[in-house]
Structure 1
Amino acid sequence: MQVQLFVAPLLICFVACISAGNMPDYIQVCHRNEPELSKCLKSSVHNLRPYLAKGIKELNVPPLEPLYIGDLSILDGSAGLTVKAKKLNILGASNFEITKLRASTQNRRFDFELILPHLHGDGLYEINGNILALPIKGNGPFTGNFTNFVAYVRVQYDIKNVNDLEYLHVKEFALKIRTGKGNIKLENLFNGDKVLGDVINDTINQNFELFTNDLIAPIARALEAKFLVITTKILENFTYSELFPV
């Protein structure tokens, strides 16, 4: 369910890869007047994937392998279901692939679509309420395997003047998620009742897309705010001319 969590460090490197001068050699530079800017940026970001897996200290980008998410309140009970996740870890986020990308320096906007071929997640959960017309209650460890999750990202930015220097400023960061295939195993449902636990796990996995669709929206909203803060901190280190060389 956490396919979208790789988007923040990806956006950081996506913007950084068009920087000149101060950027390390492993970053492929794309100039603002590049005839095929989108194609160049896609190649640059894909080239960064092995570095993203380990993290890039000089850009303050944390490792994607594993990607530690921490604690999330996913559903608050208003829809008849309370879901909380704790100590979330995600493996496989660095294997993303950009399938579509549009970059416009004139309109100051990026739009891109990304696919995650395979993710593995683990952590702790708390769940109480009803889902798919069945009562569900429990807490304990969970594991999940997810394939072909897709993220759609729109980034709108402007240019701000700070101490007579121009900096890129993110005005809008919009994220949407389309779920793919997968399976989840929730341990200790109904205080460890194996029969009831197997029924719920089987029901969830037989209706995997419907189940995850109920959880994606609140996760995406929380991540939008988190990604914006992280991205803004990184962009403060580069002027507009450094990020978009002529």
Structure 2
Amino acid sequence: MCFLGGSLAIMPDYIQVCHRHEPELSKCLKNSVHSLRPYLAKGIKELNIPPLEPLYIGDLNILDGSAGLTVLVKKLSIKGASNFEITKLRASIPNKRFDFELILPHLQGEGLYELNGNVLALPIKGKGPFTGNFTNFVAYVKVTYDVKNVNDLEYLQVKDFVLKIRTGKGNLKLENLFNGDKVLGDVINDTINQNFESFTNEIIAPIARALQEKFLVITTKILENFTYNELFPV
């Protein structure tokens, strides 16, 4: 982590300050994060935070064949990540920890896939473009931090950032299954979507790790640019 050793001259409007000992700190933090959403969607140039819309994940090795199925995803891009809604938040200054739960009402994903093996006991093979719609996925986030002194100024430094996802509803469409055989392709797509939750539970872990990395970057950039006292005055 690279601290600037100083802070921005003026606290920008998009940062809602919360006093560290205020009685409703969790409520204030929730409102503060929600106020950031439109800025995160477009990116915050002065903090070197890239846009969340669309959120480019890139290439993922979803399944490596150990469970009888190999799934590779390339050029994965997701829309809708900035529309998250925090449903629960617990802040503990003494324990240097934040826990929160958020819902992702609607995500749209697209990219390329390579798939070979068995899905729900059906043999499957194909490569090509895919699209997906995901509704009401829930993320659980735990953030712990330390206070670091840099040039006589105190900054918050992320110690641990963990994000886990519980799948919701949705649908996937894989193009060019079985070299474009429409009948077999429709059967597999219908089978996946009829068992959407079971299928996505198998592939969600690497996607959650990718999202965790993206949100960690955002959190780190904000903490690097503002002192502890600026973000959480006494």
Of 1, 24, 29, the match for 1:36:
24
What percentage of residue pairs aligned between the two structures are identical? 86
* 1:38 Cα deviation from its structure 2 partner: 0.7
> For 1:134, which of 107, 111, 122 is the aligned residue?
122
> Structure 1 residues 22-31 or 102-111, which shifts more?
22-31
CA contact (8 A) 1:126 1:138 kept: yes
**Residues 56 and 70 (structure 1), Cα distance of their counterparts in 2 relative to 1, 3 Å cut:** same
Amino acid at match of 1:77: G
2:120 maps to 1:152: no
Task: Compare 29-38 and 179-188 and name the one that shifted more.
Answer: 29-38
Q: Deviations over 1:44-97 (max 9, x none)?
A: 221222222211112222212211111111111111111111111111112111
Take 1:78 and 1:101, find their aligned partners in 2: how far apart are those partners? 37
Cα deviation, residue 30, structure 1:
1.1
Aligned amino acid, residue 47 of structure 2:
L
Kept in 2, the 8 Å contact 1:21–1:242? The answer is no
Does structure 1 residue 58 correspond to structure 2 residue 46? yes
Is it true that 1:105 corresponds to 2:93 in the alignment? yes
Q: Distance in 1 between matches of 2:221 and 2:41?
A: 20
Q: Any stretches of 5+ residues in structure 1 without a counterpart? A: 1-18
Residue number among 174, 184, 192 corresponding to 1:204 in the alignment: 192
Q: Does 1:235 align with 2:223?
A: yes
Q: What's 2:203 paired with?
A: 215
> Hey, what's the Cα distance between the residues in 2 that align with 1:114 and 1:240?
24
Q: 1:181 and 1:94 mapped to 2: Cα distance?
A: 19
Worse overlay, 92-101 or 62-71: 62-71
Say whether residues 1:90 and 2:75 are aligned partners: no
Flag the 1:212–1:231 CA change in 2: closer, same or farther, 3 A.
same
Contact 2:18–2:231 (Cα < 8 Å) also in 1: no
How far has the Cα of 1:157 moved from its partner? 0.9
| Counterpart-to-counterpart distance in 1, 2:28 and 2:110 | 35
Q: Give CA deviations for 1:102-147 in whole Å, capped at 9, x if unaligned.
A: 1111110000011011111111111111121111111100001110
How far apart are residue 223 of structure 1 and its match? Answer: 4.3
Residues 65, 221 of structure 1: CA spacing in aligned structure 2 closer, same or farther, 3 A cutoff?
closer
Superposition TM-score, scaled by structure 1 size: 0.85
Question: Which letter maps to 2:160?
Answer: E
Give yes or no for the alignment of 1:47 onto 2:73: no
Q: How many angstroms does 1:228 deviate by?
A: 3.9
Go from structure 1 to structure 2 and tell me whether the alpha carbon gap of 1:91 and 1:230 turns closer, same or farther (over 3 Å shift): closer
Counterpart check, 1:67 vs 2:55: yes
State the distance in 2 between where 1:245 and 1:197 align.
58
RMSD, aligned CA: 2.0
CA deviation after TM superposition for structure 1 residue 210, in Å: 0.2
Give ranges in structure 2 of 5+ residues lacking alignment: 1-6
Q: SS of the residue aligned with 1:48?
A: helix
Give the conservation status (yes or no) of the 8 Å contact 1:20–1:29.
Answer: no
The secondary structure found in structure 2 opposite 1:78 is: coil
Q: Paired residue for 1:10?
A: none
1:176 alignment partner, one of 164, 184, 187? 164
Helix, strand or coil: the match of 1:28? Answer: coil
Q: Does the CA contact (< 8 Å) of 2:145 and 2:160 recur in 1?
A: yes
Count residues with an aligned counterpart.
Answer: 228
